[in-house]
């Protein structure tokens, strides 16, 4: 098998319309994890769509309930060839954000792919049904060219609650630590820097959610008020300027600061006398 042969096979599968048919079938599942009554369709996506597709590639799968009440289920799948070859763990999520059917422009709909030139429109085509469908299609082509052997083991976890913050994902990974153990994680659920160029991140920065609360009318507010002759709206704006300065500690993905300059900040949609320079 050569790399060019695998790419040719994958291209042919795409051009034949087979890939579109598969993805269209998956997009038709209204897997809106943010809806409280979505439990049945979330489970159906794993049981009726993903499990048979993975079985055709030689995977054994099982559906694991979420330890967090109300959270979507997980699919754990494995394709084992040998104890002596590397193991790849891959990830995907089958849930999507709400369809908002009425908000799509004329001719488009969330639960059916509409093709316009080089663009495919449909809920989940870019996040994340499209990604894990591409990965599994690539595996299928490699298997066909290598006579049913990949040369490595594959494990896969598919969650159904990513769009509501991945409840239970950490707990499941802790609980199944040994079962999910692998040599490398290849996950397709990140941003793409340009539509014309594939993006590969050789690492994961991770994500931490936190709430930042500042007591703007505490000591800082009193200090400002004393120096200005009494507390008022202008002093609160000055305090909020201090809050804005804290953004200078934040950095973008490339390490650049994302804080807005102090001179360009406007409080409450207008500048006061104090913020115009009479400071």
What CATH number is given to the structural domain containing 54?
3.40.630.10
Residue 148 and residue 225 in one domain: no
What's the total number of domains in the chain? Answer: 2
Domain boundary among 187, 207, 233: 187
- β-strands 74-79, 153-159: how paired? antiparallel
Is residue 179 in some structural domain?
yes
Whether the CB-CB separation of 23 and 127 falls below 8 Å is answered with no
Long-range contacts of 262-270 (CB under 8 A, 24+ apart): 265/241, 267/236, 267/237, 267/240, 267/241, 268/233, 268/237
pLDDT band of residue 223 (cuts 50, 70, 90) is low
255: pLDDT confidence band, cut at 50, 70 and 90? low
CA angle 85, 91, 93 (to 5 degrees): 155
Question: Does residue 134 sit in the same domain as residue 73?
Answer: yes
Averaged pLDDT for residues 125-153:
95
Structure tokens at 217: 């009318």
In a domain, 197, yes or no: no
**What mean pLDDT do residues 103-126 have?**
96
pLDDT at residue 269 greater than cutoff 60: no
200 is a domain residue: no
Same domain (yes/no): 259, 138: no
Residue 208, domain member (yes or no) = no
Can you give the pTM of this predicted structure?
0.75
Identify whether residues 148 and 267 lie together within a single domain.
no
Residue 77 lies in a domain: yes
The boundaries of the domain holding residue 81 are: 3-187
Same domain, 137 and 270: no
More confident site: 1 or 237: 1
152 CB-contact burial (10 Å; exposed 0-12 / middle 13-18 / buried 19+): middle
Query: Average pLDDT in the 109-123 region?
Result: 96
| 53 and 143 assigned to the same domain | yes
Q: What is the CA radius of gyration of the chain?
A: 25
Indicate if the pLDDT at residue 237 is higher than 80.
no
133/237 same-domain check: no
Q: Name which residue leads in pLDDT, 263 or 186.
A: 186
Going by C-alpha positions, the residue among 137, 125, 128, 135 that lies closest to residue 156 is 135
Residues 194-210: tens digit of each pLDDT: 878 888 888 766 667 77
Looking at the fold, whether 52 and 98 belong to one and the same domain comes out as: yes
Average per-residue pLDDT for the chain: 83
Task: Report how far residue 24's alpha carbon sits from residue 230's, in angstroms, rounded to the nearest whole number.
Answer: 64
Residue 185, pLDDT > 80, answer yes
- C-alpha distances (whole Å) from 120 to each of 125, 131, 188 are 7, 13, 18
Structure confidence at residue 257 (pLDDT): 52
Element (DSSP H or E) covering residue 187: strand 184-187
Average of pLDDT values for 100-107? Answer: 96
Same domain, 143 and 229: no
Q: pLDDT tier at 159 (50, 70, 90 boundaries)?
A: very high
Mean pLDDT, range 148-153, rounded to an integer: 96
pLDDT at residue 1, as a whole number = 64
My answer on whether 98 and 153 are in the same domain is: yes
Within a domain: residue 213? no
Q: Tell whether the model's pLDDT for residue 230 goes beyond 90.
A: no
d(CA 128, CA 27): 10
């Amino acid at each position: 098998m050569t790399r060019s042969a695998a790419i040719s096979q994958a291209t042919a599968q795409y051009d034949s319309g087979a890939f579109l048919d598969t993805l269209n079938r998956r997009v038709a599942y209204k897997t809106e994890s943010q809806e409280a009554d979505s439990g049945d369709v979330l489970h159906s996506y794993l049981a009726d769509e993903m499990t048979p597709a993975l079985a055709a590639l030689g995977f054994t799968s099982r559906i694991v309930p979420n330890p967090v009440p109300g959270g979507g289920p997980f699919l754990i799948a494995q394709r084992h060839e040998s104890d002596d070859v590397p193991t790849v763990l891959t990830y995907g999520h089958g849930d999507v954000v709400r369809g908002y059917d009425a908000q799509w422009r004329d001719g488009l709909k969330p639960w059916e792919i509409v093709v316009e030139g080089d663009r495919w429109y449909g809920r989940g085509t870019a996040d994340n049904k499209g990604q894990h469908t591409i990965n599994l299609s690539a595996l299928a082509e490699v298997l066909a060219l290598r006579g049913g052997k990949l040369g490595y083991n594959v494990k896969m976890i598919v969650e159904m609650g990513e769009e509501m913050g991945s409840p239970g994902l950490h707990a499941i990974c802790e609980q199944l630590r040994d079962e999910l153990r692998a040599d490398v994680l290849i996950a397709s659920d990140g941003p793409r820097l340009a539509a014309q160029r594939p993006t590969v991140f050789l690492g994961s920065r991770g994500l931490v959610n936190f709430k930042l609360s500042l007591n703007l009318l505490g000591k800082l507010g009193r200090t400002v008020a004393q120096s200005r002759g009494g507390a008022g709206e202008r002093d609160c704006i000055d305090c909020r300027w201090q809050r804005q300065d804290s953004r200078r500690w934040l950095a973008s993905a490339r390490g650049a600061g994302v804080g807005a300059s102090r001179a360009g900040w406007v409080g409450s949609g207008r500048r006061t006398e104090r913020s115009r320079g009479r400071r």
